[in-house]
Structure 1
Amino acid sequence: MATAALNRYTPEEYLALERNAEFRSEYIDGRIVAMTGGSIPHNYIGGNIYAGLLARFSSRPCHVFFADVKVRFGRGTDYTYPDVMALCGAPGYGDEHSDILTNPALIVEVLSRSTEPYDRGDKFKGYKAIDSLREYLLVSQDEVKVEHFIREGDFWPSRVVTDLDATVELRSVGCTLPMREIYRRTRFVPEDMVEESA
């Protein structure tokens, strides 16, 4: 989640500063934008998705990244930290540091009130320029709701899933995630409705 933007920097200046920084920042249109901490539901949901994909990838040549890996997009000069990214095949890295992913097939953002307009708007517009990207999930932390966007040529039709008993089919990485698994332990879901992990 990003907050206030600071002075303008080159991409190279941003990367040099970011790799030595104590706190994470994103880089959008020449500006370094400090990130705020997430809520407990945000953390659970992102962690649940990461863990669910990691388990499903255990015997497959697929990779999942959680929160601390940047993605490069836009004109190749913007950098953000998606909540979760995944792909099958070899990861493409931006440079020798292996902290910038260039070829995600799936990006997941867990929505917060402060970042939702950006996640839906300019960030999604930038993500669409990533040639490898096939699916984008916007996951609510305030209710059971996943918006699933799938690339079809130049179009991104969406499906909204609100049923806790439904699943989200992720074609780009060849697996499904149950909504109950995505929302495990989140506060607004009664504990007796959500199965605990084994």
Structure 2
Amino acid sequence: MVAEQKHLLTEQEYLTLERAALDKSEFYNGERIPIAGASINHNRVKENLNGKIISHLEFADCQSFSSDMRVHFPGTSLYAYPDIVIVCGEPQLLPNEFDNLTNPNAIIEVLSDGTEDYDRGRKFHRYRAIPSLTEYILLDSQTVSVEIWRRNEQGQWTLTHESADPTTVFTIGTIGLSVTLSTVYTRTTGLLPDASAPTTAP
């Protein structure tokens, strides 16, 4: 018995479908990857942090976009919707396109039960192909914790900060914004610090 081959989409086919769709999907290597609805804690963490970012950047050269900004990564076929993306300077879009950002400087993802492995693994690996990206931050929607990865001048990615202490202050280095972890988790429910997460210097 011959296995039925999955139909793979071209990037243009994906973009045509995506622009008409009611629900968002990411794209990689010919496949659409549906984005599941986020929990209330996931959305609370994202909005708490993005509110701080927006206020901090009111008169700055950088700006943030939340969830609906699709990002395309040169050198790969990946199209994704980061929870928060920060761009400094003029946003660059694909030629002749209006909705595909190519020059993020920082990406922030809020981990969920169904996305944690993807966000930590394959997705982060693909993110690293973006020449402009220098900072990748992970927050958890199931426990109180933060991880910050940064690219050094040699192009190597290093985990520079990891903490589950609600009193800890972490810094988004791209924009020089320092936030207390407890502030990011304000009004979430049922979350405890991740006891397995060590604390490293910011």
Normalised TM-score (structure 2): 0.86
Taking the aligned partners of 1:165 and 1:103, their CA distance within structure 2 comes to 33
Q: Which residue of 2 aligns with 1:3?
A: none
Taking the aligned partners of 1:156 and 1:184, their CA distance within structure 2 comes to 30
Q: Which residue of 2 aligns with 1:155?
A: 156
Q: Which residue of 1 aligns with 2:188?
A: 186
Percent of pairs with identical residues: 35
Give the CA deviation at 1:180. Answer: 2.1
Describe the SS at the equivalent of 2:64. Answer: strand
Give the CA deviation at 1:156. Answer: 1.5
Taking the aligned partners of 1:115 and 1:74, their CA distance within structure 2 comes to 23
Taking the aligned partners of 1:80 and 1:169, their CA distance within structure 2 comes to 24
Q: Which residue of 2 aligns with 1:33?
A: 33
Superposed CA RMSD:
1.6
Larger radius of gyration: 2
Structure 2, unaligned runs of 5 or more = 1-5, 193-202
Larger displacement relative to structure 2 (104-113 or 164-173): 164-173
Alpha carbons 1:50, 1:66 under 8 Å: kept: yes
Following TM superposition, the consecutive aligned residue runs of length 4 or more in structure 1 with deviations greater than 6 angstroms are none
Alpha carbons 1:7, 1:32 under 8 Å: kept: no
Alpha carbons 2:140, 2:146 under 8 Å: kept: yes
Taking the aligned partners of 1:167 and 1:188, their CA distance within structure 2 comes to 21
For residues 81-134 of structure 1, give each alpha carbon's deviation from its aligned partner in whole angstroms, at most 9, with x where no partner exists: 111001221111124443211111110111112111111111000000001111
Q: Which residue of 2 aligns with 1:175?
A: 177
Taking the aligned partners of 2:177 and 2:88, their CA distance within structure 1 comes to 11
Taking the aligned partners of 1:135 and 1:7, their CA distance within structure 2 comes to 35
Alpha carbons 1:107, 1:135 under 8 Å: kept: yes
Normalised TM-score (structure 1): 0.87
Describe the SS at the equivalent of 1:100. Answer: coil
Taking the aligned partners of 1:176 and 1:97, their CA distance within structure 2 comes to 34
